[in-house]
């Protein structure tokens, strides 16, 4: 799997390259700046891009803007955005095109190599990886809203993990229950929130995220 | 070129007519009301009516100041004294307000201006529409209207011409045309003349200006002290947070790593356990640093500017927010930060004290002024006063010559407005 990596801090870039190589990714390019990233994304046709929000030369949200522009040029281009801080505002912009294949994680998440690599793979496969902090923000804003308030604590847990982009199998693993139990929770959640049921994992996650983000 | 001159003359004529009407009607009414109201102070009633009337006079004068700037480029500075922040409410406040206004030399100059405006001001400006309308009358006479007037026995004078025949009526038309041509050149100057006359009385005098400068120096001194104090306190807070937070966690992590090094062969299970703890410590240190950074200068603000930073802030609130931003550029960083923290503090108040369910934030920039309004539907009763967060916001904005106004009747709603003079880049 070919990765384009954009991160301006040498230590982090180097660390990411080594981690991804250790997990058998091929680093197509590891760049430092926004313009380099735009060029690499256009020319190298990577399977997934891992991008820092803040990049030189402007040191604004240049990385995010490059990623969004590249996705407009090539819809569904898988992009995993990393940042020192997560904002619901940015998450919303990444998800806006409804194409999936996006991730938005705190840089802290690279501490856990396996989970991080899992997120990269998920995004590359067209799935979603949202930072738990984003999801918690979304949920806490609407904690008392109906019908969210009608979910059981377990269902809320499942919803939270599902919104992060985890598959049923992964959620089952984390909560130490069977996949069948999770499937049952999932269908309860979808019934309570009145969301259309879909077999496609990615569609399902996007629907949940859109639901959580709506109206605010 | 020609058409623009004609248009300008017509526009000036229309403005002249409007100014003539308000000069006459507005100035006479307000002058009479003001004199009567001030005379009634002896009876007590005047204490209550005078501030209202004088405020209306000031508004009337301010309207003329605005017209002067917009229509003729004549800038007339506003000279009124600002009400003190701690002006009491109720009847006592009413007396204080009345006395303050009566002591303000600008009030008396306003009243003088009303007299001049209803006489000289009116006389000057009426020429602008007259120079446009009178020629029309000349032409109407020449088209034959002179005849019935003459036969009815009316000896009609047009200017200095006694119209008694077609010949003299034609003369009236020629004179009218000449006046019309004059209007093309004179009308804008006439309107400008009216405003220059107004400026001679509405602009602050030298002594008023000196007083204003002295007040400004006082205020600058005060806001500078506040700014220095605030930033020193901020640095102390940051130092303490780093010292007790991230720094302490890194020390703990270093110690743990040392222990792990010693344990890794003797007791691998224990070492692994400690590794997990070290990782948790590093994660918590990062979280603390992130919160600290957000308090110093929020990353969204640096990346996106005030508009999106306020949007992001609103998204973090546990209530319904509606954010309306109109900023066609970036502000200077210090202003941006001050405005952001002011909004942040106001929103916190809305959530914490007002127990609001909905908040509306409006941010826009116009005419060199950043204006922010935060309105909530909470229980109201907020005041700028000792120790309240609002005083802090006022101080913060004061550094940039910004002002804060709070309207918060008990029972709500609360509306906080802020204005900071600044340019967009």
- How confident is the model at residue B105, as a pLDDT? 85
Domains of chain A by start residue, with CATH: 2-130 (3.40.50.2300), 135-213 (1.10.10.10)
Cis peptide before B413 (omega within 30 of 0): yes
- How confident is the model at residue B231, as a pLDDT? 85
Q: B93-104: per-residue pLDDT in tens?
A: 778 888 888 888
Q: Are B297 and B337 in contact, with CB atoms under 8 Å apart?
A: yes
Q: A174-212: per-residue pLDDT in tens?
A: 899 999 999 899 888 888 888 887 777 778 888 888 888
Contact B303 A53 (CB under 8 A): yes
Contact B318 A143 (CB under 8 A): yes
Whether chain B has a CB inside 8 Å of the CB on A136: the answer is no
On the question of pLDDT at B164 being above 50, the answer is yes
Give this prediction's pTM: 0.67
Mean of the per-residue pLDDT values for chain B? 87
Number of alpha carbons in the 13 Å side-chain half-sphere of residue B288 = 19
Chains A and B: how many Cβ contacts under 8 Å?
46
Contact A85 B315 (CB under 8 A): no
Closest CB from B304, B312, B321 relative to A60: B304
Closest CB from B282, B286, B312 relative to A89: B312
Q: Tokens standing for B197?
A: 């006359």
Q: B174-207: per-residue pLDDT in tens?
A: 988 998 888 888 888 999 999 999 988 888 888 8
Whether chain A has a CB inside 8 Å of the CB on B318: the answer is yes
Whether chain B has a CB inside 8 Å of the CB on A145: the answer is no
Task: Report chain B residues whose CB lies below 8 A from the CB of A59.
Answer: 302
Contact A61 B320 (CB under 8 A): no
Closest CB from B283, B308, B320 relative to A89: B308
Interface with chain B: mutation pick from A65, A85, A91, A112, highest number of B CBs within 10 Å? A85
Contact B290 A84 (CB under 8 A): yes
Average pLDDT over residues B122-134: 90
Contact A89 B318 (CB under 8 A): no
pLDDT band with cut points at 50, 70 and 90 for residue B85: low
Beta bridge partners of residue A81, listed in sequence order: A51, A104
Q: B227-284: per-residue pLDDT in tens?
A: 888 888 889 988 988 888 888 888 888 888 889 988 988 999 999 999 888 888 888 8
Distance from C-alpha of B93 to C-alpha of B403, rounded to nearest angstrom: 22
Query: Where is average pLDDT lowest: A41-45, A193-197, B323-327?
Result: A193-197
pLDDT band with cut points at 50, 70 and 90 for residue B301: very high
On the question of pLDDT at A216 being above 50, the answer is no
Contact A137 B316 (CB under 8 A): yes
Whether chain A has a CB inside 8 Å of the CB on B333: the answer is no
Interface with chain A: mutation pick from B300, B303, B307, highest number of A CBs within 10 Å? B303
- How confident is the model at residue B167, as a pLDDT? 86
Task: Report chain A residues whose CB lies below 8 A from the CB of B320.
Answer: 216
CA distances from A18 to A5, A12, A48, B283 (A): 12, 10, 16, 21
Interface with chain A: mutation pick from B314, B315, B330, highest number of A CBs within 10 Å? B315
Number of alpha carbons in the 13 Å side-chain half-sphere of residue B130 = 12
Average pLDDT over residues B316-335: 89
Q: How far is B301 from chain A (nearest CA, A)?
A: 9
Cis peptide before B391 (omega within 30 of 0): no
Task: Report chain A residues whose CB lies below 8 A from the CB of B317.
Answer: 141
Task: Report chain B residues whose CB lies below 8 A from the CB of A53.
Answer: 303
Average pLDDT over residues B9-35: 91
Q: Which residues contact B78 (CB under 8 A, 6 or more apart)?
A: B62, B65
- How confident is the model at residue B155, as a pLDDT? 67
Whether chain B has a CB inside 8 Å of the CB on A111: the answer is yes
Number of alpha carbons in the 13 Å side-chain half-sphere of residue A125 = 15
Q: Which residue of A has its CA nearest to B312?
A: A89
Average pLDDT over residues B220-225: 87
Q: A92-109: per-residue pLDDT in tens?
A: 899 888 888 999 999 988
Task: Report chain A residues whose CB lies below 8 A from the CB of B294.
Answer: 85
On the question of pLDDT at A215 being above 60, the answer is no
On the question of pLDDT at B333 being above 80, the answer is yes
On the question of pLDDT at B48 being above 90, the answer is no
- How confident is the model at residue A144, as a pLDDT? 65
Q: Which of B216, B132, B200, B134 is nearest to B172 (CA)?
A: B134
């Amino acid at each position: 799997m070919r990765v384009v990596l954009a991160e301006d801090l040498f230590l982090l870039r180097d660390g990411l390259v080594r981690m991804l190589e250790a997990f058998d990714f091929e680093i197509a390019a590891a760049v430092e700046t926004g313009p380099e990233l735009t060029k690499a994304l256009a020319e190298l046709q990577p399977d997934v891009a891992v991008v820092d929000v803040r990049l030189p030369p402007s040191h604004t949200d240049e990385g995010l803007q490059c990623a969004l522009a590249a996705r407009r040029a090539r819809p569904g281009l898988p992009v995993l955005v990393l940042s020192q801080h997560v904002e619901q505002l940015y998450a919303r912009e990444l998800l806006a095109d409804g194409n999936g294949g996006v991730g938005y994680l705190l840089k802290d998440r690279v501490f856990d190599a396996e989970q991080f690599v899992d997120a990269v793979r998920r995004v590359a496969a067209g799935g979603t990886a949202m930072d738990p902090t984003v999801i918690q923000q979304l949920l806490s804003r609407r904690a008392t809203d109906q019908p969210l308030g009608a979910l059981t604590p377990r269902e809320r847990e499942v919803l939270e993990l599902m919104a992060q982009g985890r598959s049923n199998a992964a959620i089952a693993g984390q909560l130490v229950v069977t996949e069948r139990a999770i499937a049952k929770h999932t269908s309860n959640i979808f019934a309570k929130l009145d969301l259309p049921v879909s077999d496609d994992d990615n569609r399902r996650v996007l629907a949940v995220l859109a639901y959580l983000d709506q109206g605010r | 070129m020609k058409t623009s001159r004609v248009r300008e003359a017509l526009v000036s004529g229309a403005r002249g007519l409007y100014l003539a009407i308000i000069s006459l009607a507005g100035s006479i009414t307000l002058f009479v009301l003001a004199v009567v109201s001030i005379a009634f102070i002896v009876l007590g009633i005047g204490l209550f009516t005078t501030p209202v009337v004088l405020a209306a006079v000031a508004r009337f004068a301010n309207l003329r100041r605005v017209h002067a700037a917009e229509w003729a480029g004549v800038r007339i500075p506003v000279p009124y004294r600002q009400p003190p922040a701690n002006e009491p409410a109720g009847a006592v406040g009413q007396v204080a307000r009345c006395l303050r206004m009566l002591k303000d030399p600008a009030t008396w100059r306003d009243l003088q201006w009303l007299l001049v405006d209803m006489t000289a001001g009116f006389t000057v400006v009426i020429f602008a529409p007259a120079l446009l309308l009178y020629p029309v009358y000349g032409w109407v006479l020449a088209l034959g209207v002179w005849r019935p007037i003459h036969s009815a026995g009316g000896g009609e004078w047009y200017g200095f011409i006694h119209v008694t025949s077609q010949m003299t009526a034609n003369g009236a038309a020629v004179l009218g045309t000449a006046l019309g041509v004059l209007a093309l050149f004179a009308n804008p100057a006439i309107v400008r003349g009216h405003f220059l006359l107004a400026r001679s009385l509405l602009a602050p005098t030298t002594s008023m200006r000196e007083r204003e400068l002295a007040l400004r120096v006082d205020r600058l001194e005060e806001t500078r002290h506040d700014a220095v104090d605030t930033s020193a306190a901020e640095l102390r807070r940051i130092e303490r947070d780093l010292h007790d937070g991230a720094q302490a966690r890194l020390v703990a992590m270093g110690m743990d790593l040392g222990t792990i090094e010693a344990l890794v062969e003797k007791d691998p299970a224990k070492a692994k356990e400690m590794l997990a703890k070290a990782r948790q410590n590093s994660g918590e240190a990062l979280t603390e640093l992130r919160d600290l950074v957000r308090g110093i200068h929020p990353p969204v603000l640096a990346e996106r500017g005030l508009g999106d930073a306020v949007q992001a802030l609103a998204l973090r609130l546990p209530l319904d927010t509606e954010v309306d931003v109109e900023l066609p550029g970036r502000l200077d960083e210090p202003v941006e930060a001050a405005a952001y923290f002011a909004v942040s503090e106001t929103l916190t108040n809305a959530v914490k004290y007002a127990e609001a369910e909905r908040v509306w934030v409006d941010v826009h920039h116009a005419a060199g002024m950043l204006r922010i309004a935060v309105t909530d539907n909470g229980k109201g009763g907020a005041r700028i006063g000792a120790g309240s967060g609002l005083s802090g916001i006022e101080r913060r904005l004061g550094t940039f010559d910004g002002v804060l106004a709070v309207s918060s009747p008990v029972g709500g709603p609360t509306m906080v407005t802020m204005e900071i003079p600044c340019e967009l880049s």
